[in-house]
Amino acid sequence: MPEYPDITVYVERLEAMLLDRVLEKIRLLSPFFLRTVEPPLSSVEGREVRAFSRMGKRIVCSFNGDYHLVIHLMIAGRLYWKRKGAAVPRKNGLAAFDFPNGSLLVMEHDSRKRASLHLVRGVERLAEFDPGGLEVFDVSFQEFHARLQSENHTLKRVLTDPRLVSGVGNAYSDEILHRARLSPLQLTREMNEEEAERLFNAAKAVLFEWTERLREEAGDGFPERVTAFHEAMAVHGRYNKPCPSCGTRIQRIQYADNETDYCPRCQTGGKLLADRVLSRLLKKDWPRTIDELERKS
């Protein structure tokens, strides 16, 4: 899923290329993509783009007349910049937005259609899409700490809950927790102030560094290789590979469609967290420490 760094770079590049441009036509290929019927989608055809912005993990395109398109790419949605009028692949294509200088294609690389498009008019209606999570660059540590303490959840859940923290999903939460040297399953109300401050500083550092990295990769072009997995990541997507800090093999917890990746030496005091799939399957044979894991290797 595109998260804060990816969405920020998307917004910056879209603004550079399309600000004050006229949206000439919208080609909607998937009826499941559009989630609103009033106002009609044709209402923004022929209107000028006034701004692009990020709202959590959503991209907002605002037009004159107080119209706002809200795009949520979910897990597998991606944006592509092509020549004007370029065909949209039928297999994964959702829509195309045609401008005088090119076409913005929205595609979803998953058979489950989760990405969404809403068109609303008025800032009051637009505000309904804001889940209310804190923007880590806009708040003090005290505000961040208070939000952590507002509910007693695991750190992984808190970081990925858009009502609590804005713009962070599965990938960057793993990176933040590794940087902070904290377990993904630690409960928020069991944290001391020093641990909470480490988490706050790690969140800002990781999101800043990755935003800068993706900006540099995009340059003056368009970021068309957005992915949740990067070779330069410390733990996310690196199961069984060595931790860049200590060399211990990265471990994971699998659940539903997601997984949490972590370093047992850096983050959990050498303990392996129970995996809902493998630990139930292996039972007594499930290794509980790094030493047991290495002996079984």
Mean pLDDT of the chain: 92
3-state SS, residue 1: coil
Output the six-digit token pair for 267: 């983050």
Which of 18-22, 70-74, 176-180, 289-293 shows the lowest per-residue confidence on average (mean pLDDT)? 289-293
* pLDDT tens sequence across 203-253: 999 999 999 999 999 999 999 889 888 999 999 999 999 999 999 999 999
Q: Percent of the chain having pLDDT more than 70?
A: 92
Closest CA to 49 of 60, 62, 39: 62
Residue 284: pLDDT band with limits 50, 70, 90: very low
Q: Tens of pLDDT along 98-157?
A: 999 999 999 999 888 899 999 999 999 999 999 999 999 999 999 999 999 999 999 999
The residue type found at 84 is K
C-beta of residue 78 within 8 angstroms of C-beta of residue 107: yes
Find out whether 9 and 211 touch, Cβ atoms under 8 Å: yes
Q: Contact 55/72 with Cβ under 8 angstroms?
A: no
pLDDT value at 286 more than 70: no
pLDDT of residue 258: 79
Neighbours of 82 (CB within 10 A): 16
| Residue 275: per-residue pLDDT | 66
In this prediction, residues 35-39 reach a mean pLDDT of 96
Does pLDDT of 289 surpass 80? Answer: no
Q: Does the N-terminal peptide bond of residue 131 adopt cis geometry, omega within 30 degrees of 0?
A: no
What does the pLDDT read at residue 77? 95
DSSP state of 88: P
- Is residue 292 over pLDDT 50? no
* Full set of structural domains in the chain with CATH: 4-127 (3.20.190.10), 141-296 (1.10.8.50)
Mean pLDDT for 184-192 is: 95
Q: What are phi and psi of 174, to 5 degrees?
A: -60, -45
197: nearest Cα among 144, 147, 156, 157: 144
**Chain center to CA of 199:** 18
pLDDT band at 279 (very low <50, low <70, confident <90, very high): very low
Q: How high is the pLDDT of residue 256? A: 67
Under the banding of pLDDT at 50, 70 and 90, the label for residue 254 is confident
Instruction: Give the residue, 227 or 275, on which the prediction is more confident.
Output: 227
Q: Which residue has the tokens 């809403």?
A: 118
- Average pLDDT, stretch 27-41? 95
**Percent of all residues in the chain with a pLDDT value above 90, rounded to a whole number:** 85
Q: Residue 118 forms beta bridges with which residues?
A: 70
